[in-house]
Structure 1
Amino acid sequence: MRQLLDDGLRLHPGITFLVGENGSGKSTILEGIALAYGMSPEGGSTSAQHATRPTESPLSQWLDLQRGVGASRWGFFLRAETMHSFYTYLEANPSTGGEPKFHEMSHGESFLAILDTRFDAPAFYCLDEPEAALSFTSTLSLISTLQQIADYGGQILCATHSPVLAAMPGARIIEVGPWEMRPSNWDDLVLVRQWKSYLQSPERYLRHLLDP
């Protein structure tokens, strides 16, 4: 995180993806920015106040966010691992007109319902591995939603393992790893090279794992 604290991170209009291995720090960076913006650490909008067990890093306390002139102060943090508790919070604190019955939906359906009911304004959106609940087809629906937000003037920061999401035209990609943060092109991502290699010849990988 030293690079982030020393040099900062300029988020351009539209969509920025943080891509990297598990443990690389991309979700910590996303969380720190979301909290510094005023969002709930367990997901939700800048007005959500639910919390169960604090586990977030202190990074947000060290960040100084600078908004552009006229930028919206509303934002939404979609965090895959805490969505179940967020749905419970929404049931107890419904918006005007009520809420969808998130707990009665499948994991993927509930994510899509959040997209339909919350991702509808040119605000700041932070998404932590949203593809975790989505099929290939649903991921394409997410791409369409994100593009609409960008077209309306919204800003999106998304941590992802998905080569499908990261392929969005016009998106900025930052690869996080031992080098800390570096701009990258889709074709140059370690993630993309690994998936291409696996899909071309899965047996090359699996025989090393499954052979007795």
Structure 2
Amino acid sequence: MARPGVRRVRADAGAPPPLDAMWPMTVPAVAQLWAEGLELAPGATVLVGENASGKSTLVEVLAVALGLNPEGGSAGARLETRRTEPDALPLVVERAPGAPRWAYLLRDETLHGLYTYLEESGPSYHHLSHGEAFLAIFEDRARGAGTYLLDEPDAALSFAGQLRLVAGLVDVVDRGAQVVVATHSPLVAALPGATILEVGPWGLRPAAWDDLELTASWRQFLDRPESFLRHLR
């Protein structure tokens, strides 16, 4: 049997198309999703790309399509600080038969608001470090089958914290979950078994970890940091 999960996100053919000149359709990755649809791997998908490449916007678009609060949490989360997310696009989410509806979004840039919201009925995340609080929420919410969206989790985490996150992602995928992670970290991008999509002016394209500019740049920097730093003066 096919593994349950979100198989594809596509445009609703019966809805009027959004204007190409309006955000987020000006983001190449979003425009490609609208034109071609986006098939999601049954396990893990990793999005990599430069700042402003559109990977976070794509995560937000997917979150809204799944009915999630765009600032983080589940479909039932009620929090809003300052709305910066794209409005809902007329998208159709195709799921495998029997796929669980549980989904959760964690966004680094809105975690402070999510901590405050969750503290209304739970533990005090503000008493933890940023990274500890992020991992605590992830490990509490991502316990089994479902769809989990993580936007730049590496921003909150040390090297050891990123290793712990990767271990948690491997574990939850092994238990039937589907994850989509946007990251700047070559460590997180090395998530075993993940499908890697490189995001940029071209839209979305499959990539191998060894071929990523992200991987090559970090490898070169760690081998010879002075070759980069001398150009900053």
TM-score scaled by structure 2?
0.85
- Amino acid aligned to 1:194: S
CA distance in 2, matches of 1:108, 1:159: 17
More helix by share: 1
Aligned partner of 2:32 in structure 1 is 3
Instruction: Please state how far the C-alpha of 1:119 moved relative to its aligned partner.
Output: 1.4
CA distance in 2, matches of 1:117, 1:181: 31
- Amino acid aligned to 1:8: G
CA distance in 2, matches of 1:55, 1:77: 16
Instruction: Please state how far the C-alpha of 1:41 moved relative to its aligned partner.
Output: 0.9
Instruction: Please state how far the C-alpha of 1:90 moved relative to its aligned partner.
Output: 1.1
Q: Is the 8 A contact 1:77 1:127 kept in 2?
A: yes
- Amino acid aligned to 1:74: W
Kindly report which structure 2 residues correspond to 1:8-19, keeping only aligned pairs within 5 A, or say none: 8-19=37-48
Indicate whether 1:74 and 2:102 are aligned: yes
CA distance in 1, matches of 2:231, 2:82: 39
CA distance in 2, matches of 1:54, 1:64: 23
Stretches of structure 2 lacking an aligned partner (at least 5 in a row) = 1-29
CA distance in 2, matches of 1:190, 1:118: 32
Aligned partner of 1:186 in structure 2 is 209
Aligned partner of 1:38 in structure 2 is 67
**Paired residue secondary structure (1:64):** strand
Instruction: Please state how far the C-alpha of 1:62 moved relative to its aligned partner.
Output: 3.1
CA distance in 2, matches of 1:177, 1:100: 39
Q: Deviations over 1:46-84 (max 9, x none)?
A: 2212112211123x3232211111111111000001111
Alignment root-mean-square deviation, CA:
1.0
Aligned partner of 1:209 in structure 2 is 232
CA distance in 2, matches of 1:115, 1:176: 25
Q: 2:218 aligns with which of 178, 195, 202?
A: 195
**Paired residue secondary structure (1:49):** coil
Q: Is the 8 A contact 2:190 2:209 kept in 1?
A: yes
Q: Is the 8 A contact 1:16 1:158 kept in 2?
A: yes
Instruction: Please state how far the C-alpha of 1:168 moved relative to its aligned partner.
Output: 1.7
CA distance in 1, matches of 2:136, 2:123: 7
- Amino acid aligned to 2:222: L
Kindly report which structure 2 residues correspond to 1:1-212, keeping only aligned pairs within 5 A, or say none: 1-58=30-87, 60-92=88-120, 94=121, 99-210=122-233
- Amino acid aligned to 1:145: G
**Paired residue secondary structure (1:206):** helix
Instruction: Please state how far the C-alpha of 1:167 moved relative to its aligned partner.
Output: 0.8
CA distance in 2, matches of 1:155, 1:86: 22
Q: Is the 8 A contact 2:71 2:107 kept in 1?
A: yes
Q: Is the 8 A contact 1:19 1:176 kept in 2?
A: yes
**Aligned residue pairs: how many?**
204
CA distance in 1, matches of 2:222, 2:196: 22
- Amino acid aligned to 2:190: A
Stretches of structure 1 lacking an aligned partner (at least 5 in a row) = none
TM-score scaled by structure 1?
0.93
